[in-house]
Amino acid sequence: MTVEELLHRLNGVEWNDFEAKEAKTDVPKSAWETVSAFSNSYGGWIVFGIKERKAGGVSTFEIQGVDNAEKVEQDFIGVLRSNGKFNQRISVQPAKYEIDGKIVLAFYIPMAEFKPIYIGVPTNTYIRVGSGDQRATEYEIRAMMRDQAFGKKSNEAVFGSSYADINQTSFQDYRAFLRTYNPLLQYNTLSDTDFAVKTGIMFNGLLSIGGLLMFGNIDAILRYNPDFLVDYMEIPGTSIHDAITRYTYRMPEQENLWEYYKAILQRLRLRLDNPYSPNPDGFAPDDNSQLYCVREALCNFIAHADYFSEIHSTIRMYDNSLSLQNPGSFPVNLDIVGRTIVSQPRNPNLLRFFKLAKISENGGYGIDKILNWKNLTNCEVSINSDITKSEVIFELPINANQRQSTPNGVNDVEKTLEEQILALIGANNKISIAALAAATNQSKRSIDRVIEDLKKNNKLSRIGSARSGKWQILE
């Protein structure tokens, strides 16, 4: 972080990865809560030597500096690298700045590999919520503890299981699919039991967790995981709250994840653009359809779910969006999604089953296929995550059959997000990004992208700082 970046942060509106503290002579007690929160979230900067002043509900920040900076720095780093205060040693990247003759200390706390990071006892676990630190709930702490098995759990054996627990209809359907779409796969000639071993469905006579969930009989799955369910619903409205009726379709429970995948994909075909293809599965080798993008998201949805959470995986088809929500956090910082190759599934053998069938992309390139939705539809796709859940939302193109006018003749659904944002700013030129996101039912990331486009096209500008300034709509 450069001096310019530091000063820019001090004028920011919302910080989820930056915390300024006075720390004039000593490390403040609240710094330890922030260390826990950043470690349990996606990392962030703690900056000492900044004084916050509040007036009229508005915060301003003054560079005050740290006295005896070397001692404060060593005290802080010493605690993080010891075994005393936290349950794990915490790595830290320090930086020192001199601004107008005053020393400012900055420390980058990375996201922890094994969570939770807590102060003394697990109940003293903190997470980052917006720009503040909050004590984690018991449910959030349990979710982080399950994440310690990230990438490993689905490969574990299910004791008491056997080949007899495999649903033969699903299993033989999958094998037939592989023979059709991956005919050169050497496993295709193996016997059923050898195939199950080679592909990771079973080993040492036991089914793997992933093998059971993907191809097992529902009775066997429920014996092991009584809460197993993927809930798919089609809702006539733009949200649950404005739906005319609760839902028009709700998918019956399926035998296993392979059956859920096929049934959900068939429902999606009814709604999404999917040009004719001579291939039996309806996809051409170079398919570039809406359904092709969403199929990749569906495969990742199945492979990334925390199937041992108290909440279920849900898919909601609304009039203007498709939401795929999973229990379990996204494995990486969302700021790098789409800019680098990310391949870190929670359940690697589930994703491998799809890759063997050539349904899902290899090596982290699936995210590019998902994000191609914007190019195909001119609609946003957003990815959101917190400690306990993650969500991918596809904004849907509106067709003539879905348009509904309000009494004043304005079609709110048909309005573009850009028009909605400009209308909201016209009514309140000090409205925040968070408020815009809430009013339009979009992510803050989507709002940021649209605002940047508006600025580039000279339709919108910002007067004053991000924290206390205002918007100006340009003619």
Q: CATH 3.30.565.60 occupies which residues in the chain? A: 154-395
Give domain 415-473's CATH number out of 2.160.10.10, 3.60.20.10, 1.10.10.10, 1.20.1530.20: 1.10.10.10
The DSSP H or E segment spanning 108 is strand 102-109
Antiparallel, parallel or unpaired: β 102-109 and 126-129: unpaired
**Amino acid residing at 182:** N
Pairing of strands 50-55, 58-63: antiparallel
Cα dist from 143 to 128, 133, 147, 229, 305, whole Å: 15, 18, 6, 18, 12
Question: Which residues contact residue 71 at a Cβ distance below 8 angstroms, ignoring those fewer than 6 apart?
Answer: none
Band of pLDDT at residue 401, cut at 50, 70 and 90: very low
pTM of the predicted model over 0.85: no
At 370 the pLDDT is 85
Structure tokens at 92: 């830290």
Residue 216 carries which DSSP code?
Answer: B
Q: Ranked by mean pLDDT, which of 7-16, 184-193, 342-351 comes out on top?
A: 184-193
Residue 102 sits at the vertex; the CA angle it makes with 101 and 105, to the nearest 5 degrees, is 140
- In this prediction, residues 248-269 reach a mean pLDDT of 92
Residue range(s) occupied by CATH 1.10.10.10 in the chain? 415-473
Name the DSSP letter for residue 236: S
- Structure confidence at residue 171 (pLDDT): 96
Cβ 69 vs Cβ 58: under 8 Å: no
Comma-separated ranges of CATH 3.30.950.30 domains in the chain: 3-136
Q: What percentage of the chain exceeds 90 in pLDDT?
A: 30
- Cα(289)–Cα(292) distance, rounded to whole angstroms? 5
Q: How many residues does the chain have?
A: 475
Measured between alpha carbons, how far is 454 from 471 in angstroms, rounded to an integer? 11
User: What's the pLDDT at 198?
Assistant: 92
Neighbours of 198 (CB within 10 A): 15
Confidence of residue 384 (pLDDT cuts 50, 70, 90): confident
Class of domain 3-136: alpha beta
Place of tokens 């969403």: 294
- CATH architecture, range 154-395: 2-Layer Sandwich (3.30)
Lowest mean pLDDT among 121-135, 410-424, 446-460: 410-424
